[in-house]
Amino acid sequence: MFENLLSPNFTTFITLFIFGLTIMVTHHNLIKKLIGMYLVQTSIIFFLVTIGAKSGSTVPILLSAAGPIEPHVYANPLPHALVVTAIVVGVSTLGVSLGLTIAIFRRYGSLEEDEILKRLE
Amino acid sequence: MTSQAVCLIFLLPFSAAVAMPMLGAWRRSWCRPLALSAVGLMALFAFSACYDVLTQGPVRYALGGWDPPVGIVLVLDGLSGLLAVALSLVSLACLFFGGPALPKDLGSKVVPYHTLVLLMISALAGVTLSGDLFNLFVFLEVSALCAYALVGLSGGRALIAAFRYLILGTIGASFYLLGVGYFYAATGTLNMEDFLNRLPDALHSKAVLTGLTFILLGLAIKAAMVPFHGWLPDAYAHAPDAVVPLLASLVTKVSLYAMTRITFWVLGASTLTYEFPLLFLLSMGGTVGAVVGAFLALTQQDLRRMFAYGGISHVGLIVIGITAGNQTGFSGGVFYLANDAVMQATLFFIAGIIMYRCGARDLNQLGHLGSQMPWTSAALIVTALSMIGIPPTGGFFGKWYMVLGALEAKNYLAVAAILSSTLLTLAYFVRIIERMFGEKPSNASAAQLASEEPVEMRVSMGALAASIILLGLFSDRIVGLILRSAVPPGLG
C-alpha cells in the first residue's frame, strides 16, 4: 500500500499541506489565513481520497444478489464517507470563520492583523 | 433501558439545542428553563448510566443498530461514565451561572447563547462517549465551532481572540484528521477497540508512527499544552463572562480526556511496547507545561488571564499524572482532571462576579474588595487552597496521588515540576489575596460597588466551592472507584 504514497498524489498532498500551513501562520491578512486553512483542509481530503482509491473497481453496490460477494470488485466506501463528513466539517468551519471575519471588518474596518492591533491600542 | 440512557446523554442537549431557535423566536423567556431542564435531565441520565456501568460493566451502544466495527459505537465505561457525570454537573452549574450574567453582557443574544452552549455540551458529551476515531473528530469539531462562536459572541476584542482561537483550533483539528487518515491506511479500521486489536501487527509501520504524532499534536493544541497554549489566554480574557467558565472547565479537559483515551485505549500505551518512550515524551510535555504555565500566571496583571495561565499549568499537571505509567498516577490524574474542571469553573465564576459588581478585571483594582464581598472571597480562598493543594480540598489529594505515581515511576523531574508549580501557584494566589484584603482601596470605583450579585450567581459559585471540599472529603472513594473501573488494562 505504501509504495502508493510516493506517487504524485502524495507529493501533491504534502505540497498543498505545507503551503496552506505556511500561509496560515505567516500572512497577516485574515482572508489569506482562511485561504491557507482551506488549503490545509483540502489537502487532507485529497489524502483521504488517495488512500481510498482503487483502480478498476466499481461503486460499492452489489452487482447481483446471487452468488458470493467479491470484495475486490468494489471500491471501499468508508474513505468516501469520511471525505463527505470532513467536507461538511470544513465548510462549517469556513462559515464560522467568514462570519467572524465579517464582524471584525465591520468593527475595525480592516482585514490586516497589524492594523487591527494598532487600532486596539 | 441502560443502552438508551447512553444515547440520551448526548441526544438530550442536542435536541434542546435544535429546538431552541424556534422556541426563542416564540418565547424568549423560555430559553433558559428549557436549557436548564435539558442539562439537568442529561445529568440524571449520566448518573443512572454511570451507576449501571460501575455495577455491571461497560456498555456499548451501536448507533442505528450497526454493530461495530462496521457501525459507529458509543462506549460508556468507567472513565467515560465518571467524566460524563462530571461534565453534565459542571455544565449545569455554568448554565445556572450564565443566565443573569447575560443581559449586561450579550444584549439580545440570549437565543444564540443557549443554542450554542447546548450544542457544545452535547458535542463534549459525544467526545466522552465516542468509541470511534473519526466520530471523535466530528464531535471535537462541533464543540470547537461552538466555542469559537461563543468566544466571539460579545463582539469587540473578543472577535480577534475568537479568530486566533479558530485558526489554531483548526490546525489542531486538521492534524487530528490527518492522523486518523494515516491510522486508517495502516490498519483499515476506525473503531477504537478493533484498532487496538489490529495494532500489534502494524506497530512498526511508519504510518502508525506518523499518525500518532499528528493525532497527539492535534490534541495537544486543543488541550492547550505548552507550547501550544497561545490561543487560550486571549480567548478566555475577552470572551463573555457567561461563557468563560464553560470553556475553561470543559473544553480543554475534554480534549485531555480524548488524549488519555487515545493514548491508552487506542495506542495501547500500557500494553504495547513502542520503539520510543511514548508516555515519557508526553509526560515531559506536561512537566514543561506545569512550570511554564504557573510562571506565566505569576507575571499577569489581568485576573482572568492569570486564571487562564493557571489552567494551562494544571493541564500540564494532569498530563504528568495520567502518563506516569502506573495506576496511582493515572487515577490521581483523572481525579485531578475532574477537580480541575470544578476549580476552573469556580475561578471564572469569581472573576465574573467581580466583573459584574465593580467592573474590575485588573489586579490593582481589587483593593479592599475582600471585606465587601465576603461570599466571593470565601469561595476564592477555598478554590485557592485547592489550586495550591492544601488538605482537605480535592486539589491536595489529586496532587498527592500524582506525586506518589511519579515517585513510583522514579520520574523525579515530574515530582520537582509538580512541587515547583505548587509553589508558583501559591505565589500568584498570594498576590490576588493580598490585593483583595489590602489596607486601602486603590481606586474610587472599587469602593462604590454595584448592588449585590444575583442569587443564581452566588448559588452556583457556592455549590461548586462546596463541591471542591466534598471532592476532597470523598477523595478516597472516588479514587478507589477510578482504580477499580477506569484504569486502562495492563497498567502496572
B148 belongs to a structural domain: no
B64 belongs to a structural domain: no
Which residues does chain A have within 8 Å of residue B173's beta carbon, measured at their own beta carbons?
89, 93
Residue of higher predicted confidence among A70 and B151:
B151
Distance from CA of A113 to the nearest CA of B (A): 9
- Please report the pLDDT score of residue B466 as a whole number: 92
B148·A40 Cβ contact <8 A: no
B325 belongs to a structural domain: yes
Closest CA to B263 of B314, B333, B339: B333
A-chain residue closest to B142, CA distance: A89
B141·A103 Cβ contact <8 A: no
A-chain residue closest to B157, CA distance: A120
B-chain residue closest to A114, CA distance: B160
Is A37 part of the contact surface with chain B (CB cutoff 8 Å)? yes
pLDDT in tens, B52-103: 888 888 888 888 888 877 888 999 988 999 999 999 999 999 999 887 766 6
* Total count of domains within chain B: 1
A-chain residue closest to B147, CA distance: A96
Could you tell me the three cell numbers for B345?
469553573
B249 belongs to a structural domain: no
- Please report the pLDDT score of residue B401 as a whole number: 93
- Please report the pLDDT score of residue B91 as a whole number: 93
Q: Write the residue in B134, B145, B159 that is nearest to A104 by C-beta.
A: B159
Domain of B360, in residue numbers: 277-492
Which residues does chain B have within 8 Å of residue A37's beta carbon, measured at their own beta carbons?
167, 170-171
Is B185 part of the contact surface with chain A (CB cutoff 8 Å)? yes
B339 belongs to a structural domain: yes
Distance from CA of B163 to the nearest CA of A (A): 7
B473 belongs to a structural domain: yes
Q: d(Cα B151, Cα B47) in Å, to the nearest integer?
A: 30
pLDDT in tens, B379-410: 999 999 999 988 888 899 999 999 999 999 88
Average pLDDT over chain B, rounded to an integer: 88
- Please report the pLDDT score of residue B307 as a whole number: 93
- Please report the pLDDT score of residue B440 as a whole number: 61
pLDDT in tens, B208-230: 999 999 999 999 999 998 888 88
Q: d(Cα B54, Cα B46) in Å, to the nearest integer?
A: 12
Q: In this complex, how many residue pairs, one in chain A and one in chain B, have their CB atoms less than 8 Å apart? A: 81
Residue of higher predicted confidence among B108 and B288:
B288
Angle (CA) B98 B103 B104, round 5°? 100
B89 belongs to a structural domain: no
- Please report the pLDDT score of residue B444 as a whole number: 47
Please, where are the H alpha helices in B188-250? Answer: 192-202, 206-222, 231-238, 244-246
B70, B139, B159: best to mutate for the A interface, most A CBs within 10 A? B159
DSSP labels for B250-277?
Answer: IIHHHHHHHHHIIIIIIS-TTTS--SS-
Is A98 part of the contact surface with chain B (CB cutoff 8 Å)? no
On the CB side of A53, how many CA atoms lie within 13 Å of its CA? 13
**Whether the Cβ atoms of residue A101 and residue B163 lie closer than 8 Å to each other:** yes
Could you tell me the three cell numbers for A15?
505540497
Closest CA to B99 of B110, B87, B86: B110
pLDDT in tens, B2-21: 568 888 899 999 999 999 98
Give B145's pLDDT tier (boundaries 50, 70, 90). very high
How far is residue B233 from each of residues A53, B222, B226, B230, B300, measured CA to CA in Å? 43, 13, 12, 7, 10
Which residues does chain A have within 8 Å of residue B156's beta carbon, measured at their own beta carbons?
107
pLDDT in tens, B432-476: 888 888 766 555 444 456 567 788 888 899 999 999 999 999 988
Ranges of chain A whose pLDDT falls below 50:
none
Give backbone dihedrals phi and psi of B213, rounded to 5 degrees, phi first: -60, -45
- Please report the pLDDT score of residue B451 as a whole number: 66
pLDDT in tens, B89-141: 999 999 998 877 666 666 678 888 899 999 999 999 999 999 899 999 999 99
Q: Which domains does chain A possess?
A: 4-53+75-120 (1.10.287.3510)
B104 belongs to a structural domain: no
Is B44 part of the contact surface with chain A (CB cutoff 8 Å)? no
